[in-house]
C-alpha cells in the first residue's frame, strides 16, 4: 500500500466496515466504544479502524444529520 493511502472495505454479510490506515503487524486492538475497534501498529500509530454493525451506526448517524440539515434549511 502506498504511503498515505487509506483503504476502506465493507463486508455486507458480517456488516463490518474496515478502514486500513497502514499495513503491517498489529501490536494491540483497543475497543474504543461499543462495536468500534482501533488497531495499533507496533510503532504506536493507528493501523486500522473496524466498525461492527456498520449499517446501523452509519445509517442512524446519517439520518440524524439529514434531519438536522432539513430543519436548518426550512
Domain locations in the chain as residue ranges: 7-73
- Is pTM beyond 0.85? Reply is no
List the chain pLDDT tens, one digit each, 74 residues.
666 789 999 999 999 999 999 999 999 999 999 999 999 999 999 999 999 999 888 877 887 888 888 888 87
45-51-57 Cα angle (round to 5): 135
DSSP element (H, E) containing 38: strand 36-41
Q: Give the integer Cα–Cα distance in Å for 10 and 41.
A: 21
Amino acid at each position: 500500500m502506498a504511503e498515505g493511502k487509506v483503504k476502506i472495505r465493507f463486508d455486507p454479510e458480517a456488516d463490518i466496515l474496515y478502514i486500513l490506515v497502514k499495513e503491517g503487524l498489529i501490536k494491540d486492538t483497543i475497543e474504543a466504544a461499543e462495536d468500534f475497534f482501533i488497531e495499533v501498529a507496533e510503532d504506536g500509530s493507528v493501523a486500522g479502524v473496524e466498525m461492527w454493525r456498520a449499517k446501523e451506526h452509519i445509517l442512524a448517524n446519517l439520518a440524524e444529520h439529514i434531519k438536522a440539515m432539513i430543519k436548518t434549511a426550512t
